[in-house]
Amino acid sequence: MSLIRTQAKIPRRRKKLRLGQVALTAFTWLVVILMVFPVAFMVLTAFKTETAAASFPPQWLSPITLENFEKVFDRGFWPFLVNSVIASVGSTILVMILAIPAAYALTIRPIFKWRDALFFLISTRFMPFAAVIIPLYLLVARLGLLDNIWVIMVLYIGMNLPIAIWMMRSFLEEVPREIIEAAQLDGAGIFKEITRVVMPIVAPGAAAAALIVFIFAWNEYFLVFNLTADSARTLPPFLGSFIDARGQFLATLSAAATLAVSPVVIAGWVAQKRLVRGLSMGALK
């Protein structure tokens, strides 16, 4: 009797469970759609005509046009894009050149007071640039270097170096000791030890670190906003110039914003598995 009852119960329970699972999945996708909606709406607006973008109530099915992207480039998008690339790619390369040996010295060949060095390095990342902007501005102005993209690039090195060292340190911790010992027994010098033995192992980690550093530099606003005027402006403050009090600008602004965010969004999607680890400074895997 009891056996029969149990058998009868199982299928019904499973069905209930499956229904619950389907409902949860549907709910999850609803949340995903709500979260992504503002981005999707921005991209959608970028492909509308100005009149369609500004119409109220909103037009959902308006003809697709590329004229906004043309307008963005007509309004001088290129120089700002070039500045963004110089500042973020340049600073990322230099940050990695400085960070990899430093992280190596701190992990595989630890030196005296390495912990102090680490704490110092990471603590510099926490200082908001807003706190020191006035002396920074006066110093750069005194040197006649305002509105200079190379100055911005150098400042981004300072902004990102600590985080890169921390990330690289966390990846270097995982290099198996036997491999390095074997290399040293074979008589490899420090240079060979890094380039031939250690780097191939941590290369994926280094790529992830470089991507995160790149993302921070690409999205930075405050320093460029205050230390540049025109010729050294990067994309983030440039976007604001599309706001036009006299006419319609929604579609052009959306097109410019879409272009500006896409490199980092794509890079972030590719590297998402390592984002957590990098941004938690290697503490979480």
Kindly identify the residues of this chain, within the stretch 96-155, that bind other proteins according to CB under 8 A: 98-99, 101-102, 104-117, 119-124, 126-139, 154-155
From 85, 51, 95, select the one nearest 260 (Cα to Cα). Answer: 85
Q: How far is the CB of 44 from other proteins (least distance, A)?
A: 9
- What part of residues 23-42 is at the interface with other proteins (CB under 8 A)? 24-25, 27-29, 31-32, 35-36, 38-39, 41-42
Cα distances from 93 to residues 12, 200, 213, 217, 242, in angstroms, run 60, 17, 10, 12, 31
**Residue 73 binds other proteins (CB under 8 A):** no
Q: Which two tokens stand for residue 280?
A: 């938690």
Give the shortest CB-257-to-other proteins separation in angstroms. 4
DSSP state of 65: -
Q: Which of residues 202-231 bind other proteins (CB under 8 A)?
A: 215, 218-219, 221-222, 225-226
For residue 71, state whether it binds other proteins (rule: CB under 8 A). Answer: no
In whole angstroms, the minimum distance from the beta carbon of 86 to other proteins comes to 17
Q: For other proteins, which is the closer residue by CB, 32 or 203?
A: 32
135 cis-preceded (ω within 30 degrees of 0): no
Q: How far is CA 27 from CA 74, 80, 188, in A?
A: 43, 41, 57
The residue length of the chain stands at: 285
Tokens of 52: 């369609």
Q: Supply the minimum distance, in Å, between the C-beta of residue 228 and other proteins.
A: 13
Minimum distance, C-beta of residue 216 to other proteins, in the bound complex (Å)? 10
* Binding test (CB under 8 A) with other proteins, winner from 72, 149, 152, 161: 161
Whether the CB-CB separation of 129 and 224 falls below 8 Å is answered with no
